Amino acid sequence: MNLKKCEELFGSGRLDEAEECLKAVLKHEPDNPEILNNLGVLSFYTKHYNEAEKYLKKALQHDAAYDEAIDNLLDVLTAQKRVSDLIPFLENALDLKPNNLAWKQKLIELQTAQKPEPELVVPLSHDLVDIRRFPFPYRAGLAIANNPDMMDAETFFSIMGILNKFGSASHEDGFGLPTSSAVSLLKTDDELSLFIDESGAPGTHFNKLSTLIKSGHIDTCYGLGDKKEGKNLTQSDIEKTYKTMNNNGLHLSIFANRSDMKSEMCVSDSAHPTNAHGDDPKHGAYHLDQTTKAGACFIWQKVNNGTINIIGQSRNKFPSMHKDVFVPVVRHGDKKYKVLPIDSEELRTIASQNNLINLKTFRNGQKLWTIKRFTGGNDFPCANHLSEQLDASVLRELVFSEGYMLIDQHLGAHMEKDGTIRPNKKPYFDQKAHTALTGLAMMRDDGAIWVTTTLRLVQHLHNVSNLDWKATSQGDRVVIKINGIRYHADAPLSIPSSDQLRGVTFYTPLPEKTKVYLGNTELSVAANGPDSKGRRSVMIDLNELEWPLDD
């Protein structure tokens, strides 16, 4: 007789013969923990729990860290509902193997089942309760950031409607992809400008644009404007504009520099800007203090590393093999891997710069988060470049990276083969772009990529990185309390609105018994099943945006 033969008997259901076999082998190897464990399992199957416990404990005497014997003894004690023995046994097991997540989860379930006194609060570590990188069930996040260059009103409202509205299965009339755009505030030659001059006189499409600002489909100020009657705008003009916006309940959380900083209204954290003076307190075009007071908390500057062609920002990892790391880049539709030594200075530089949001100090001393956009290697990405930016291989790499990506786009423009740029015309999206957008919608529907607006994407990453929270076990519940958020490490703690926390997801061992509070206010959360990593969670209501305009 040998152990393999015994296991074959057990596997075929011949339990009596298997028991005789194991006992015969045990006579020759009385201290073999594997044989003792198998006898314990056999006794457990025949519901001889005392005998099973005896064999399993003896196995552990010879190998205290024998995982299988520990798991089997847990089953024996659980079958007898011996909670008072289970808890100390699990605590001892975790002393030997503190990283066993299954045992930790079992322990917390047993402890909460004990229903301790209400005042007993037990802190929970982040390996049990932690913040998830993306709303459940997504594994990556993406937004299309539209610049309104070359767009007239008809093109703007049509394209934004097609992207945002849910249409037919063929997506001819709508992709259902939440997408936001920028808008100018003061440009007399732009029919999409919110105002026609600094007096606050509304532009031609003020009502529609205001509706989209309030719904979240316009979230970016695309420059303030350049001049009035041949003269530079003044701080007084800007102050009046923001006052009018505030009176109308309009706030834009992102400020984007126009073009390549030719406008004096642009801002720059660089010591050598071109014509940008918007953050220079000594210049007449200074406005950054008023812009942030009006609600802007993120900045996009095309220069100073504002664009990138690496797939996946703030990503978990780059692919690697042996001592090489593969950095995925896209240049004019051609995806390649840049191979770098794992200890190279260039790789460290890339890793440090490949963040979706980066804290920068501007010339007026303010610290603000700047945004990085993915171009796909094109200096002026147009609508017909979407097929390159959203190629299936790019999206698969994004999911692998568990990263974020903000697509830089000029949806109102089309680039010819010779590089000439013209206004985009119907049908707006060629077959390749249509296929790419359809593929993106499918990956969203499959729970792979969270597609949302620019502000929601950057705000979510900021939340994941800077939210101040703690989790405790209270009675039979897990309680997560959000204390606030720090805009940056040196900033005081501030209280976000529940609207700002949409989609924030926490891993928890007991989703149905987990409560989330913002201060003392309980938030509405949904309990989720296991995600792609097998972990359960709760999510603060996401409430995806709905397109508010009629055709």
Residue 18 falls within a domain, yes or no?
yes
How does pLDDT run across 12-65, given as a tens digit for each residue?
778 888 888 888 888 888 888 888 888 888 888 888 889 889 988 998 888 888
- Is the pLDDT confidence value at 435 over 90? yes
For the chain, the average pLDDT equals 88
Contacts of 76-83 spanning 24+ positions with Cβ under 8 A = 76/40, 76/44, 76/49, 76/52, 77/53, 79/44, 79/49, 80/49, 83/110, 83/113, 83/114
In a domain, 532, yes or no: no
pLDDT in tens, 303-336: 778 899 999 999 878 888 888 899 999 876 677 8
Q: Which of 464, 538, 428, 443 is nearest to 154 (CA)?
A: 428
Q: 100 with 152, same domain?
A: no
Shared domain check, 22 and 161: no
Contact 368, 403 (CB under 8 A): no
Q: Please tell me the predicted confidence (pLDDT) of residue 29.
A: 87
pLDDT number for residue 385: 95
Distance in angstroms (rounded) separating the CA atoms of residues 476 and 471: 13
Dist. CA 80–CA 4, nearest whole Å: 30
Q: Tell me, yes or no, whether 530 lies in a domain.
A: no
- Whether 91 and 147 share a structural domain: no
For the stretch 365-392, pLDDT in tens is 999 999 999 999 898 999 999 999 999 9
CB 260 within 8 A of CB 215: no
* Residue 229 pLDDT grade (very low, low, confident, very high; cuts 50, 70, 90): very low
Total-model pTM: 0.77
**Residue type present at position 460:** H
How would DSSP label each residue in 371-400? Answer: E-EE-TT-SS-BGGGHHHHT-HHHHHHHHH
Say yes or no: 96 and 167 in one domain.
Answer: no
pLDDT tens digits along 119-135: 456 778 778 899 999 99
CA–CA separation, 120 vs 474, rounded Å? 6
Q: Residue 135: inside a domain, yes or no?
A: no
DSSP 166: B
Residue 334: which residues within 8 A CB-CB, separation 6 or more? Answer: 377
Assigned domain for 534 exists: no
271 burial via Cβ count (<10 Å: 0-12, 13-18, 19+):
exposed
Q: Please tell me the predicted confidence (pLDDT) of residue 259.
A: 57
Question: Does 537 reside within a domain?
Answer: no
| Residues 174 and 212 reside in one and the same domain | yes
Number of domains the chain contains:
2
Can you tell me the distance from the alpha carbon of 450 to that of 441, in angstroms, rounded to the nearest whole number? 10
DSSP H helices, 202-303, are 206-215, 235-247, 288-293
Per-residue model confidence as pLDDT tens digits over 134-190:
999 999 999 999 999 999 999 999 999 999 998 755 556 789 999 999 998 877 667
Q: What is the average per-residue pLDDT within 406-414? A: 97
Asked if 337 and 412 sit in the same domain, the reply is yes
Q: Which domain holds residue 447?
A: 140-457
Measured distance CA(276)–CA(281) in Å, rounded: 12
Q: Same structural domain for residues 222 and 344?
A: yes
Question: Do residues 182 and 257 share a domain?
Answer: yes
DSSP 285-319: T--HHHHHHTT--EEE-STTT-EE-BS-BS-S---
Q: Are residues 92 and 192 in the same domain?
A: no
Binning the chain into helix, strand and coil, the percentages to the nearest 5 are 35, 25, 40
Query: What are the two backbone dihedrals, phi and then psi, of residue 460, each rounded to the nearest 5 degrees?
Result: -65, -45
Residue with the bigger pLDDT between 447 and 231: it is: 447
Last residue of a domain, one of 415, 431, 457: 457
Q: State the Cα–Cα distance between residues 406 and 45, nearest whole angstrom.
A: 56
Together in a domain, 353 and 451 = yes
CATH number at residue 386: 3.20.110
Which DSSP string do the residues of 32-56 spell out, in sequence order? -HHHHHHHHHHHHHTT-HHHHHHHH
pLDDT above 70 coverage of the chain, percent: 93
Domain boundary among 393, 422, 457: 457
| β-pair type (537-540, 521-522) | unpaired
Residues 106 and 248 in one domain: no
For residue 87, what pLDDT band results from cuts at 50, 70 and 90?
confident
List the CATH number of the domain containing 70: 1.25.40.10
Q: Tell me, what's the pLDDT at 104?
A: 85
Q: Which of 423, 457, 491 is the last residue of a domain?
A: 457
Assigned domain for 91 exists: yes
Residues 18 and 94 in one domain: yes
Q: Long-range contacts made by residues 231-234, C-beta under 8 angstroms, separation at least 24?
A: 232/264, 232/284, 232/285, 233/186, 233/198, 233/265, 233/285, 234/284
Confirm whether 278 is domain-assigned.
yes
